[in-house]
């Protein structure tokens, strides 16, 4: 029977066995040594042998990675370090040596042997650490060896929880917004993001991603997060999220029933003319918001209501429509212009004079007294000749 009492604690509790295809499971083992008796015990060494291997009864498969340290605490609360050294080659043990070769272990005192960075063996089960103490009841008397078995539990590796909460920082994007996608997930997965026209692998330990400017969404876009486990057999998880774009860019739009919109606008700054749909029809605006122009090869209309009509050039003739008829002007000015026609079929003509088509042709003047017939004679106004086949008088 040992003079001292031994208790094992682990972090995490319990330890989780390592799993193939995943990063090794690691933890820390604390061996707490106390004197629960009524009198002091004098100790020289305490040796802890660790079961090494891959079986259910083994703590670790790599004894060399364990980092030991020791600390002694008195009932009053004072702490001091103690020497912890690996045992003989192949013993898979650690040995704690008392200061000066032998020291008192008073009632209520404690010592903690810490084994850090323990790589846990891959099989679940119960591992037993074997402790050998060299102790005695007096400072100078004979020491005796006693042993104790101290167990700890290794549980089977838990299934890796799948990633979750794949989300955008904004669900509606304006043209200058930067998109960031985030999620929660384990380092036991590798991640990539799929989107229309592309795929991006995510750097290790990152849990967020923003597309480069060239990959920024231009319309409603669905992103797929693919999480691939590093374990065997390999498992994949797929999560999706969608973002909307306030002013989407579309390659083409086909509407089978109709489009309801207050206006349509050009795509570039230089040509942002706008078609506005009002209650009475359509308005055309330029890129400054003022009224603008419709250009077409032909217009087939039932009627046209307009203040004036002009040729395509600024100095072409034009026609205005006053209440009493129409006016014909020339050269883009308000100078009277000419009407040319093959034939005119009229109910009446009110005019001051009538002339042939040539500048030197004769002309008829309508005066107060009647009709005057003139001819041009070297630029001089002279009476002309009226030729008729027959005159009937009544």
Domain residues for the domain of 288 are 264-293
State whether 21 and 128 are in the same domain.
yes
**175: alpha, beta or left? (left if phi > 0; alpha if psi -120 to 50):** alpha
* Contacts with 106 (C-beta within 8 Å, 6 or more apart), sequence order: 35, 40, 74, 75
Contacts of 308 (CB under 8 A, 6+ apart): 318, 319, 320, 321
Q: Can you give the CATH number for the domain in which 180 is found? A: 2.60.40.10
Report the DSSP pairing between strands 15-16 and 144-155.
parallel
Residue 298 lies in a domain: no
Residue 272 CB coordination number (10 Å): 14
Same domain, 145 and 68: yes
Q: Is residue 370 part of a domain?
A: yes
**Judgement on whether residues 109 and 214 belong to the same structural domain of the protein:** no
Q: Is residue 254 part of a domain?
A: no
Check whether residue 313 and residue 370 sit in a common domain.
no
Distance CA 337, CA 280 (A): 35
Q: Looking at the structure, do residues 179 and 280 belong to the same domain, yes or no?
A: no
Domain annotation covers residue 48:
yes
Q: How far apart are CA 102 and CA 110, in angstroms?
A: 16
Write the DSSP symbol of residue 141: S
Question: Are 330 and 217 members of one domain?
Answer: no
Determine, yes or no, domain membership for 299: no
| Domain identity same for 30 and 144 | yes
Structure tokens at 213: 């400017």
Are 70 and 135 in the same domain? yes
CATH code, domain with 148:
2.60.40.2230
Closest to 194 (Cα-Cα) out of 230, 241, 231, 250: 241
**Tally of structural domains, the chain:** 5
Q: Please check whether residues 218 and 135 belong to one and the same domain.
A: no
Q: What is the pLDDT along the chain (394 residues), one digit of tens a residue?
A: 899 999 999 999 999 999 887 789 999 999 999 999 999 999 999 999 999 999 999 999 999 999 999 999 998 889 999 999 999 989 999 999 999 899 999 999 999 999 999 999 999 999 999 999 999 999 888 999 999 999 999 999 888 889 999 999 999 999 789 999 999 998 889 999 999 989 999 998 899 999 999 899 999 999 999 999 877 778 899 999 999 999 888 888 888 888 888 888 876 655 778 888 888 888 888 877 788 778 888 888 888 888 888 888 889 898 998 988 888 999 989 898 888 888 888 888 888 888 888 777 888 988 888 888 888 877 677 887 888 888 787 7
Per-residue tokens: 292: 């603008």
pTM above 0.85, yes or no: no
Is residue 258 included in any domain, yes or no?
A: no
Is there a single domain that holds both residue 99 and residue 215? no
Sheet holding 208-209, edge to edge: 164-168, 181-184, 208-209
For the record, the structure tokens of 312 come out as: 């395509």
């Amino acid at each position: 029977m040992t003079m001292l009492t031994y208790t094992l604690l682990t972090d995490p509790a319990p330890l989780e066995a390592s799993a193939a295809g995943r990063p090794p499971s690691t933890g820390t083992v604390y061996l707490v040594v106390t004197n629960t008796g009524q009198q002091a015990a004098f100790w020289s060494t305490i040796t802890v042998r660790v079961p090494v291997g891959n079986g259910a009864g083994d703590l670790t498969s790599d004894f060399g990675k364990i980092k030991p340290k020791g600390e002694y605490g008195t009932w009053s609360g004072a702490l001091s370090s103690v020497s912890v050294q690996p045992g003989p080659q192949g013993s898979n043990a650690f040995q704690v040596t008392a200061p000066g070769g032998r020291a008192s272990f008073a009632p209520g005192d404690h010592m903690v042997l810490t084994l850090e960075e323990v790589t846990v063996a891959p099989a679940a089960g119960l591992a037993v650490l074997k402790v050998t103490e060299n102790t005695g009841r007096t400072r100078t008397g004979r020491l005796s060896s006693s042993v104790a078995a101290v167990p700890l539990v290794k549980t089977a590796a838990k299934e890796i929880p799948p990633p979750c909460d794949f989300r955008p920082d904004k669900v509606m994007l304006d043209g200058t917004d930067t998109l960031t996608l985030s999620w929660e997930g384990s380092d036991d997965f590798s991640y990539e993001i799929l989107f229309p026209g592309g795929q991006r692998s995510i750097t290790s330990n990152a849990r967020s991603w923003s597309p480069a400017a060239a990959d920024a969404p231009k319309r409603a876009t669905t992103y797929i997060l693919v999480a691939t486990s590093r374990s065997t057999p390999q498992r994949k998880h797929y999560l999706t999220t969608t973002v909307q774009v306030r002013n989407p860019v579309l390659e083409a739009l086909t509407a089978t029933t109709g489009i309801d919109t207050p206006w349509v606008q050009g795509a570039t700054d230089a040509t942002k003319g706008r078609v506005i749909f009002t209650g009475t029809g359509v308005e055309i605006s330029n890129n400054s918001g003022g009224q603008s122009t419709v250009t077409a090869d032909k217009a087939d209309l039932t009627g046209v209501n307009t203040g004036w009509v002009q040729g395509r050039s600024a100095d072409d003739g034009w026609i205005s429509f006053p209440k009493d008829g129409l006016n014909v002007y020339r050269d883009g000015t308000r100078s009277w212009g000419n009407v040319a026609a093959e034939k005119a079929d009229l109910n009446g003509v009110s005019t001051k004079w009538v002339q042939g088509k040539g500048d030197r042709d004769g002309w008829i003047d309508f005066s107060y007294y009647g009709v005057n017939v003139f001819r041009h004679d070297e630029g001089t106004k002279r009476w002309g000749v009226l030729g008729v086949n027959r005159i009937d008088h009544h």
